[in-house]
């Protein structure tokens, strides 16, 4: 009989809490295997990328966490990491909206009206010169656009990691 050991606490795993499901049923119920999600967190968030992560991600079947570690630590970490990614995505979308508003405000008004509004704004803010305000708005619009593109690329890479996922918070693939 093969002895399984927990990756976290190094205790022998009592496989009885998983024996009621076959490997196929377990993968269907969990979507992406817990080890894969955990290694994604370790690699991306903690930036631990030893050679062994590649080897660990190739493991098929078998459990790598005892029930205690899985329920108390690993699952919550994976869920919080997913929530963090989701929040980052929503924030980046909002930043993209800010960038669009900044860009359209430059093109949607006439030069004369924009100049009058900028003068009113520098008076409102107590700024002596309009140049720093224009520079700030321009830099802000540029950063918003870069952030939005960066997040879209990350989402595309993430979806390559978890193909055909429709809802990130479910961690399930169809």
Residues 5-31: what's their mean pLDDT? 62
Query: Has residue 161 been placed in a domain?
Result: yes
Structural domains in the chain (count): 1
Convert the pLDDT of each residue in 35-47 to its tens digit. 888 888 888 888 8
Query: Has residue 9 been placed in a domain?
Result: no
- The residue with greater pLDDT, 44 or 14, is 44
Neighbour-count burial of 70, counting CB atoms closer than 10 A to its CB (0-12 exposed, 13-18 middle, 19+ buried): buried
Domain containing residue 108: 15-59+69-170
Query: Has residue 164 been placed in a domain?
Result: yes
Neighbour-count burial of 104, counting CB atoms closer than 10 A to its CB (0-12 exposed, 13-18 middle, 19+ buried): exposed
| Local confidence band at 53 (pLDDT 50, 70, 90 cut-offs) | low
Q: Of 13-27, 41-55, 141-155, which range is least confident?
A: 13-27
Convert the pLDDT of each residue in 73-132 to its tens digit. 999 999 999 999 889 888 888 988 998 898 888 777 788 888 888 889 988 988 888 888
Query: Has residue 2 been placed in a domain?
Result: no
């Amino acid at each position: 009989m093969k002895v399984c050991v927990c990756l976290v606490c190094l205790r022998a795993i009592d496989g009885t809490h998983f024996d009621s499901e076959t490997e196929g049923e377990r993968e269907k119920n969990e979507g992406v295997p817990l080890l894969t999600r955990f290694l994604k967190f370790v690699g991306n968030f903690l930036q631990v990328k030893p050679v062994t992560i590649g080897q660990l991600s190739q493991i098929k079947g078998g459990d790598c966490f005892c029930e205690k570690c899985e329920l108390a630590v690993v699952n919550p970490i994976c869920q919080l990491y997913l929530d963090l990614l989701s929040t980052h995505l929503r924030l980046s979308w909002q930043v993209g909206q800010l960038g669009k508003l900044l860009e359209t405000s430059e093109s949607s008004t006439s030069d004369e009206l924009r100049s009058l509004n900028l003068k009113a704004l520098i008076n409102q803010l107590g700024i002596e010169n309009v140049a720093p305000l224009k520079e700030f708005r321009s830099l802000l619009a540029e950063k918003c656009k870069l952030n939005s593109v960066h997040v879209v690329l990350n989402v595309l890479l993430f979806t390559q990691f978890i193909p055909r996922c429709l809802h990130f918070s479910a961690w399930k693939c169809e």
